[in-house]
Structures are given as C-alpha cells and as structure tokens.
C-alpha cells in the first residue's frame, strides 16, 4: 500500500499514521461544523416567499441607485436589498463598513435567502441576517449619546466615556459608532456646531457664541465649522439649490466690495469696479439659490459690512465673522492656514504647501488660493511666488499689491 499524500500542516519528516488519523479526524469535525453553521444560517434567513427572493435586475429598479447606496453605505437602504461579492463569496447589507468591492464582482439580491440559495454566505461584520433586532448595547449607547449632548461644552475624554459604559476605549468606540452611526467625538463636534449657530442666530456675539458652545477660541469654532463644511466638487455643483442668499454692495478703500451671506455665515466677498459685474458673478456662483439684495432691516449683514470696511480703511483689524466655506477638504486646509497668516506678513506657495503637510502639492495649493471666494476675510493675497513677486490674484494684481502695502503700514488711530 502506497504512502498517503502529505496533508496541510504535516511536516515532511512527520509521516506517522497517528498524525494522518488526527488530520482526518480534524477534517471530519470541520465539515460537520460547517454543515451545522449553514443549517443555522438557513433557519435565520427570512422565511418570505422564495419566488420573491431573487437576484435583482434593472427591471426591479436601477442598479446604479443600488450601487450608489452601497458606495455611500446608506443605512436607509438596509432591508431593501443585499449585495453579494463574487471574489469573496459573501453577501452584505448596503451599509456594511467593509472595504468596497469592485463593481464587476458585485451582484444585487432582493433578500438574504436569494443570496444564500446562490451559494453566498453572510458577512460577519454587518450580519445581513439580523434584521430588526436591536443592538444588545443600544440603550447604553443612547444614554451615552444623551450625556454627550448635554455636556458638549465640556472636555469629554474617550476613556472617561468608555468607563461610564463599562467597556474598553477601543470596544466602546466601535460599539458607539455601530449603534449611533458616528463616533463620540463627531457627535460632540456636531452638537457644539449646532449650539454655535443657534447662538449666532439669536443675536449673540461671535465670542459669546464661541464660549457658550464650548470652544476654547474663535479659531477652534471656525475650524470645526470648516471641517463640517467640507464637500465634494459634485456637491458644490448644486450652486446653492434651496438656499437663501442675501447680499450688499458698498464702496471701500480698494473699490467696490460685495458681501453675501447664507444662514450659516458669509458665503462670498467679491471685489471689483462694477456693481453689475459683482452681482453677475454672485448669481453665477449661486445660480440655484434665492439671491436677493439685503434690506435695511437685515440682522447681521450690515454690521458685518461695516466691520470689513473699517478694516480696509486701516481703522480696525480683520473682523472675525462666521464663514460659510464651501470647498474640498484640501481647499479648506489651505484656507484655514491662510486665515492664520499674521497681518503684514506673507508666505510663498511652497511655504503654504509645507505648512498644510503637502509639500509636493504646490500647484494644488495655488489653485486653492485662486478658488477662494472670501476676499480679505480669507487673505489669499498674502501668498507670493518664491521670488517674492505677486503672481496672480482673482481680483487683480494691483489690488493685491494695495492690500499688502496697506497691511504693512501702521493703522490709522
């Protein structure tokens, strides 16, 4: 009788019959265990009509819409379909947090039973068979979420929150996000931002709103709002759809200035020589919004405009106004750094790229400066070429020179 072939896990020097028997027994136990697991899976799968549980086609709706739901991990789509991944043999719910599969490997099914009958097994991360059963720690996480909202203006360490929940910090973070949908830090930041905006709408000063919301400084408040305002270019293409934009135009030391604002803050500051041209530029940027000239009884726009005029006349420092910044995450990083350049100082585009941690993105940093729509409030005029020359400026090189020269001169008393 010939020797049995080597099996996985058997070293070349270990060919004893006892080792072969142990390996065979392990394989039998493994096959029996898998059969048990699949029997449990089939019992847990929803017992709806099998004829209704099938692979979906475009006749049942748009595969593009379902793929978009998967890419966005849209929780609202859970329960309407599942998707399978051919390369891994698993099926998932649309909100599954696992790494996104290639589109050509993905198929859509109307429910778990349809996916199982085609040989796919359920994902262990999102558990698509667990429909409607609440998370075992849902009540505890809801209580922590309420605590975070009530104490958003206080420092909340992850370790302290984890102790309240009786979990390790790592386990608490994962459980909280699975139940609530965001991390504890994200929830606290969102609550602070809401308090900040609410205080501004109620007439509080920027400083009072900052302190009431729990920010240590106004720069922290703007940094948080900027991060929340980051958007994809496709979002900006909506051109302010459904928003209300009010604007005012006034004379200043550098020509005409147009200031526009939404309910979030100043969304645009434009400089020029023609009022018609400035209004046309604003309408182009917010072509889908309700754009109207501000009336005399406007709450915030008039004092904001006066503060900007005083700064341009060298009678006051650059005003710290709430800004409605709209751009990519990279652009927001650039604009945040620009706002930190001290008055009277300049930086080169290379220094700017280094400062935001992207030394090889000099051209992208320059493009972000050119995309700035908040003249003076986001002082992109303080960035020069490496040789010290002025380079371009959205509102004219001569105006850029005038702004730099004015900032280097003493303020009027």
Active-site residue list: 92, 380
Residue 377, φ and ψ in degrees, nearest 5: -65, -40
**286-296: b (≥16 Cβ within 10 Å) or e:** beebebeebee
| Residue 57 token pair | 């086609």
Classified as helix, coil or strand, 264 is coil
Query: What is the residue-wise DSSP string for 305-326?
Result: HHHHHHHHTTSSPPP---B---
CA-closest candidate to residue 304, choices 316, 292, 286: 316
Tell me the residue length of the chain. 413
Number of Cβ within 10 Å of residue 214's Cβ equals 21
CB-count burial class (<10 Å; 0-12, 13-18, 19+) for 147: middle
Q: How far apart are CA 95 and CA 66, in angstroms?
A: 11
Q: Are 180 and 134 in contact (CB under 8 A)?
A: no
Residue among 363, 371, 360, 364 at smallest CA distance from 393 = 371
Walk across the sheet containing 290-293 and list its strands: 265-272, 255-262, 244-252, 290-293
DSSP 355-403: HTT-TT-HHHHHHHHHT--BTTTS-GGGEE-TTS-----TT-HHHHHHH
Q: What would the two tokens of residue 192 be?
A: 């602070």
Cβ-contact 149, 119 below 8 angstroms: no
Distance between CA 265 and CA 270 in Å, rounded?
A: 15
Q: Is residue 174 classed as helix, strand or coil in its secondary structure?
A: helix
């Amino acid at each position: 009788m010939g020797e049995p072939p080597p099996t996985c896990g058997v070293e070349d020097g270990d060919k004893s019959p006892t080792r072969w028997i142990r390996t065979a027994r392990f394989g039998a136990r493994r096959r029996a265990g898998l059969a048990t697991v699949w029997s449990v899976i089939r019992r847990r799968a929803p017992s709806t009509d099998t004829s209704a549980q099938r692979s979906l086609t475009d006749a049942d709706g748009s595969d593009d819409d379902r793929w978009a739901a998967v890419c966005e991990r849209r929780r609202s789509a859970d329960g309407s379909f599942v998707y399978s991944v051919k390369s891994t043999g698993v099926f998932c719910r649309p909100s599954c947090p696992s790494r996104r599969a290639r589109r050509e490997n993905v198929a859509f099914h109307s429910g778990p039973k349809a996916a199982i009958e085609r040989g796919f097994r359920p994902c262990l991360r999102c558990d698509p068979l667990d429909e409607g059963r609440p998370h075992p720690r849902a009540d505890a996480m809801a209580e922590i979420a309420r605590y975070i909202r009530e104490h958003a203006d206080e420092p909340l360490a992850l370790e302290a929150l984890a102790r309240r929940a009786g979990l390790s910090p790592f386990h608490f973070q994962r459980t909280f996000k699975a139940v609530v949908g965001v991390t504890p830090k994200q929830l606290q930041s969102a609550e602070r931002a809401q308090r900040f905006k609410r205080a501004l709408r109620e007439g509080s000063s920027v400083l009072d709103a900052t302190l009431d919301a729990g920010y240590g400084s106004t720069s922290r408040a703007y940094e948080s709002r900027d991060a929340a305002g980051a958007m994809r270019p496709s979002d900006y293409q909506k051109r302010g759809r459904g928003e209300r934009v009010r604007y005012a135009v006034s004379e200043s030391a550098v020509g005409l200035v147009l200031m526009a604002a939404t309910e979030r803050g100043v969304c645009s500051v434009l400089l020029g020589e023609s009022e018609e041209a400035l209004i046309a530029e604003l309408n182009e940027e917010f072509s889908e919004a309700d754009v109207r000239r501000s009336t005399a009884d406007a709450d915030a726009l008039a004092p904001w405009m006066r503060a900007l005029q005083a700064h341009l006349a060298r009678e006051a420092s650059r005003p710290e106004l709430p800004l409605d910044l709209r751009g990519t995450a990279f652009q927001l990083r650039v604009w945040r750094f620009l706002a930190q350049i001290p008055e009277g100082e300049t930086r080169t585009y290379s220094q700017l790229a280094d400062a935001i941690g992207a030394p090889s993105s000099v051209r992208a940093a320059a493009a972000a400066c050119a995309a700035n729509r908040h003249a003076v409030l986001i002082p992109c005029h303080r960035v020069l070429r490496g040789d010290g020359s002025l380079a371009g400026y959205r509102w004219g090189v001569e105006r850029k020179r005038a702004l730099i020269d004015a900032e280097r001169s003493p303020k009027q008393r």
